[in-house]
Chains A and B, each alone.
Chain A
Amino acid sequence: MHIVRSIVLALTLLTATTAFAVQPDEVLPDPALEARARSLSKELRCMVCQNQSIDDSDAPLARDLRLLVRERMKEGDSDSQIVDFLVARYGEFVLLKPRLAPHTILLWFGPPAVLVGGAFALLLMARRRSRRNTTATMPAGGELTPAEEARLAKLLKPE
């Protein structure tokens, strides 16, 4: 219960989630707007860095983009308006989560396809196996022979 207590304690003091390279002078006075800016910054790539969001990066470009995001938020733009603006300016490369489009269909549906395909293959295999077993060993009426009953009982007995 110690963990639970410390969780509760920590939660009551919850202010913001972790984040990184934002400079003191960038932080917006309105905490709600700042939180929005932070979470949007995490979705945007610093284009001159290796796999870093503008929120993580120390690069000057990232700082410019962070300021830009905050500027537009102060002017009342919505998140999607800001994202559209950045994509129009820098291309899709700026998005860390690519939009669903013809050229990203494989990316987005690849992993679920593995899951669905795998599940389907498993189902198919189980059905084929059970059909094979039924046709091969079961008598016409679907009942087990005494010998099979005994074998089944043995099989089902826990080890």
Chain B
Amino acid sequence: MSASSNPLRRVVYVSHVVSDALPGGRTMLEDILAAARRNNSRVGVTGALLYSNRRFAQVLEGPPDAVEQIFETIQCDPRHDHVAVIEVSAPESRAFADWSMAFAEAPEVHPEQLDSPEAAEQLVGLLQAAIRNTEAAAA
């Protein structure tokens, strides 16, 4: 993991699941998560993925170059489209330092919540809460 003095980049994006990519349902999600966890940990990227209502919301954070390259890999994935970046920032610290890719499924998230100006901030908060709850349940 990178030292705290190194610059961090955070990207938050939302996208739609391509409808005919879903037959596998959970399998597809598991594939994506497994690949993300495998790839991200190699390059010091952490983050969280939210799946709700056929939409993805993902936070990626880590060394700028690694984040940009992981993001590009994700861009080329045909299983989603309508990708919209809602935040690119240089945060002081990671929001998901312990997770190569945390996962939360939140059926109560509505698309319009992702379109508001505060969406990125809300999303990070939502993901953090969801992950805390998951951890608590698992403990």
- Do A and B share a complex? no
B residues with a Cβ closer than 8 A to A are none
A residues with a Cβ closer than 8 A to B are none
